[in-house]
Structure 1
Amino acid sequence: MHRIGYLLNEGFQVMTIATQSVFEHTNLGASAPFYSIENYSIEGGEVRSSLGMSVSTQPAPPPAQSGIDTWIVPGVNDPLSSPASPQTLAFLREASAHARRMAGICTGGFVLAEAGLLAGRRASTHWFFAREMQMRFPDVRVEDDRIYVEDSGVWTSAGMTAGLDLALAMVERDLGADAARSVAHKLVMHQRRSGGQSQHSEMLDLAPKSDRIQNALDYARRNLGRALTVEELAEAVHLSPRQFSRVFTAETGQSPARAVEGLRLEAARLMIERSTHPLDVIARETGFRDRRHMREAFQRGFGVPPQAVRREARGAF
């Protein structure tokens, strides 16, 4: 029996303990229960969530005697105004010496970082707080574009629903891909995302202020198979190329060429993850000159080649 302990603090996000359903349904599909799930807090008793509902918890046991295999720290809505107590940090430091793995869901990664458990490690967190995490903890290698990250037994995830992907990855690590896929189906998850998948949408990140520039982006996304010069985009929204480039950069913070490459990368990544098309076909469909050009763009944008994205996506199902 693998024991999983959730260490709850006041104001924990309700969404983060929804991950317990992953372990619950793993047990329901197994010949015998594999996981034991328990809620703890430093003092024990009722702990209020950010929504106001309370959860009954047990007092956190001495880590050396607890037999807990995995400790999971849920996030809070604002980790900057709700720092963990010294008792919590001391407990986690000791627990890390005895548990097989530690995890922080969403902003729970801040607690692990404050406890020193992310020093020298890669980590993820909610995109809204990623820059703050990097500034506060410069010894942490924050990967703000990842759904979840596992580094030497310490797991962290992006925000909200990304915790479900982290929990499913733990199930896959423990029981194999078939078990994780079965649980994802039971939870009616349309897609179980791999850790390397982006938590961002290129279109959302650009967030233009005017309809005109939004229309240019929509035009680009519909026509990624074309060369898409500045002149063509400018003509599509009835601006001169010079005026278009100036307004586009002012509103999005990126040049048109860089934004279009981001849209191509996003489209290509989705095709790689969700289809069986050859990479040559995907490169052509998303507007890259050839497979080599797409590989170079992937290395710049994601730090890995397209083949690695496909391998990881296939391993997630």
Structure 2
Amino acid sequence: MISAQRKPGAAGAPLNVGFVLLNRFTLLPFAAFVDCLRLAADEGDRSRQLRCSWTFMSASGEEAMSSCGAVISPCEALKNPESFDYIVVIGGVQEEKDKTDYRALEYIRLAARFGTPLVGLCTGVFALIQAGVMKGKQCCVSWYHHGDLQRRFPDITPVADRIFVDEGKLITCAGGVAAADVAAYLIERHLGRAWAIKSLHIMLIDEARPTAHPQPQPVIFEKISDRLVRSAVDIIAQHMGEVIAVEQLAQRLNTSRRNIERKFQDELGISPQRFARDLRLRYGLWLLLYTTKSVTEIGERCGFSDAAHFSRHFRDAFGYTPSSTRKQSAKRDQQHVDPFFIHIDSTIDGR
């Protein structure tokens, strides 16, 4: 059981945050956010709530259970939202059988009416949507939950190509370690850049990533049994915006070009260069379907020298142009197509 203790007078801190922990909330975004606050609140690692203060709340006022089974205690009942600079809502595991927390939703609506800024971390954005406060706003969500959100809330347009979105009184975050980026963003706003940097550096994070920083896109590896090829694919997937030479790839994996080409051919039936290009094109397809970026921007992000180069390879791979794909995106919204999980065999002709 994790205990939280508030210090007397903490409510007078320059940055005062209330956390609403929903049932089976995800622990990582919670921990990343609150630890960033904790480290900015005091000198060194003393954890006194001086510059920042925080309150853990649940709808019942009882302890809150996380998705991994860790418990946060004590939690307070939902307090006057006007007493906080921000209210951070952290969602949990999304299952149909989970009951809606109507008290939490009403509290979110109350906070919105009072003008208290709301932050939705991870699936906390689902609660903000259910509370009716996200209408007409951009909504950041993890690529992992993008399809679920679209199916449940077809009138909402989610953003899954960046780590968080600031809409003024509403901030939504994809979750995970990106919660630390949001916390640092708010700390810098209220306390100054030095305090945000101090927190991140103690957490072994080099620097805060901006809101437009892209989310890493998923690749599923179950078709790959060779460890070297899996490692190579991992490197390729983390460098979608650049062309990595096979020699460079081999050097990073401490092997030879000939060996890595042979292993790719044995495992996947294509060369590393072809695999990397096809994967970057799949990423381009995802960006066309799920973002409003121009074809030129997408081509650059996918590592192609210009829009014409990107369009030519895209047409060769899929049989249609990027422009026609963008025009058909409305039909994709009506007939849910989910290209998030890029299976290895979908990048290989005939396999």
For 1:53, the aligned partner's letter is: V
175, 185, 190: which one aligns with 1:159: 175
Percentage identity across paired residues of the two chains? 22
Alignment of 1:104-183 (within 5 A): 104-183=120-199
User: What is the number of residues matched between the two proteins?
Assistant: 259
The reply on whether 1:57 has 2:75 as its aligned counterpart is: yes
Deviations 1:266-317 (A, max 9, x none): xxxxxxxxxxxxxxxxx8xx974479979xx9xx8xxxxxxxxxxxxxxxxx
Equivalent of 1:33 in 44, 50, 53 = 50
Q: CA deviation at 1:38?
A: 0.8
Q: Is the 8 A contact 1:106 1:125 kept in 2?
A: yes
Q: Report if aligned partners of 2:23, 2:91 keep a CA contact under 8 Å in 1.
A: no
By how many angstroms is 1:261 displaced?
4.9
**Which structure carries more relative contact order (alpha carbon 8 Å, separation 6+)?**
2
Contact 1:148 1:156 in 2 (8 A): yes
Unaligned runs of 5+ in 1: 227-232, 249-253, 265-282, 301-317
1:12 to 1:216, Cα distance in 2 relative to 1, 3 A: closer
Secondary structure at the counterpart of residue 110 of structure 1: helix
- Aligned ranges 1:1-317 → 2 under 5 Å: 1-18=14-31, 19-29=33-43, 33-50=50-67, 51-63=69-81, 66-78=82-94, 80-201=96-217, 204-205=218-219, 207=221, 209-210=223-224, 215=229, 218=232, 221=236, 224-225=244-245, 237-238=264-265, 257-261=277-281, 288-289=304-305
Two-structure CA RMSD over aligned residues (Å): 4.2
Matching residue's letter, 2:196: A
Cα distance change, pair 84–22 in 1 and its aligned pair in 2 (3 A): farther
Q: Secondary structure at the match of 1:58?
A: coil
**Distance in structure 2 (CA, Å) of the matches to 1:39 and 1:237:** 50
Distance 1:292-1:216 versus aligned 2 partners, 3 A rule = farther
The 2-side partners of 1:49 and 1:236 are apart by 42
TM-score by length of 1: 0.66
Residue 109 of structure 1: CA displacement? 1.0
Q: Deviation of residue 190 (structure 1)?
A: 3.7
Q: What SS class does the counterpart of residue 5 from structure 1 fall into? A: strand
* In 2: Cα distance, 1:80 partner to 1:163 partner: 25
TM-score with structure 2 length normalisation? 0.60
